[in-house]
Structure 1
């Protein structure tokens, strides 16, 4: 187990309960990791001296150096020697710490909200959605759980707005309706998380998150009992094209 930073009596922080991380940490560690992330250390190593870090944090060079040593012991950062002195990069554990912190902040801000209104831009997928959701084992469960058999196909929505991306994190943390996976002809079909949704014209449907998906977290897959490209268009004979923006209200349990 990683060794935690020494903290004054009464300041010992929670660990796994709060952030899903098996290290002890305090607000000082969070501040340092967050500051390093702001300066780009999540994706690439950054050259930074202890003196520079101390200036950014408002502490002495010696204190900043101690923080870095303790963070490295906790496997939250990695350090390598450079011509300037050292390069620092946040590790996978450190990144997960920041991601979980972001989710918790989102939940704290929106915990009383029972729905999330999100705007998305339509884009074409690989065409696999129609085949998957048309499987009889899925269709029956969709009907039992959501009250409708989906039109064969999913509508992919790319979320571009930062506030809406935060709302997606909130949705993912809420309790979903579960469509259970199954095995068919030696092939495994995974579980599907569902969130009931209402589209801009009042059509009811759902946002689905398959346990096995190639989509990034900024892509939502929408289903409904009707063809959404046609239903949401002003003229049904002219379905919505890629790039069209639509509004969807996602309901939280």
Structure 2
């Protein structure tokens, strides 16, 4: 491990220690001396790391005569959560499937365009084993449990679609997970093809018109079983 990696590791430990002390829920008051004692590092190191954590937006800090008043920002909490999910996927034996439930809603109508692009379509046929219907099924995740599960899925290895250029513009890559929708339609959950949607939305593709196959209309609830694998299994 080089010096830069070592500094990054200690920086993250500082962030985690602040979370342990309660800074994830509220602003806490703590001196650099006390924090250094808890981390078993020098006061100068802690001061430097707090400055860096503040600079990158992971903490919010005010300096007082009694020390710093510190609270971890949403960005800092997201970084802790990201590392936690990564470690969880390494050390826990994952289930073979993860279940999500969402509600049908009309998307922006871009699915047909993206799935018709040769760069995506050929990869889907080769890596997922089907020719995609030109359109996606969009589901809204309405409860916190499903939204959290959706985030956790990202920690598992995915089938990746590589980005490409068509001469006029560049298209980004995507991550796919095989799924079964409504207990009978096989397809895939696809993410990061574009960024209009957030964590409470999933997009699904299949070789058939999913709405027709499952007789779905706006607002209907759909169960989606997502196939996941352990981190030791490499993505396609």
Q: Where do 5+ consecutive residues of structure 1 fail to align?
A: 4-14, 40-45, 52-61, 234-238
Which of these two proteins has the greater Rg computed from alpha carbons? 1
Is it true that 1:37 corresponds to 2:19 in the alignment? no
TM-score scaled to structure 2, two decimals? 0.73
TM-score scaled to structure 1, two decimals? 0.69
Q: Cα deviation per residue 1:218-244 (whole Å; 9 max; x = unaligned)?
A: 2211001122222222xxxxx411x32
Q: Where do 5+ consecutive residues of structure 2 fail to align?
A: 54-58, 230-236
Q: Is the 8 Å Cα contact of residues 115 and 249 (structure 1) preserved in structure 2?
A: yes
How many Å separate the matches in 2 of 1:167 and 1:80?
35
Within a 5 Å distance, the mapping from 1:1-253 to structure 2 comes to 22-24=8-10, 30-34=16-20, 35-39=22-26, 46=27, 48-50=28-30, 63=34, 73-74=48-49, 75-76=52-53, 77-81=59-63, 87-90=69-72, 94-104=76-86, 106-107=88-89, 111-233=93-215, 239-241=216-218, 243-253=219-229
Q: Is the 8 Å Cα contact of residues 72 and 79 (structure 1) preserved in structure 2?
A: no
Q: Is the 8 Å Cα contact of residues 196 and 207 (structure 1) preserved in structure 2?
A: yes
Q: Is the 8 Å Cα contact of residues 115 and 121 (structure 2) preserved in structure 1?
A: yes
Task: Find the counterpart in structure 2 of residue 11 from structure 1.
Answer: none
Report the alpha carbon displacement of residue 176 of structure 1 after superposing the two structures with TM.
1.4
Aligned residues: 215
How many Å separate the matches in 1 of 2:113 and 2:155?
28
Q: Is the 8 Å Cα contact of residues 30 and 67 (structure 2) preserved in structure 1?
A: no
How many Å separate the matches in 2 of 1:149 and 1:178?
16
Report the alpha carbon displacement of residue 189 of structure 1 after superposing the two structures with TM.
1.5
Give the 3-state SS of the residue equivalent to 2:196 in structure 1. Answer: coil
Report the alpha carbon displacement of residue 38 of structure 1 after superposing the two structures with TM.
2.0
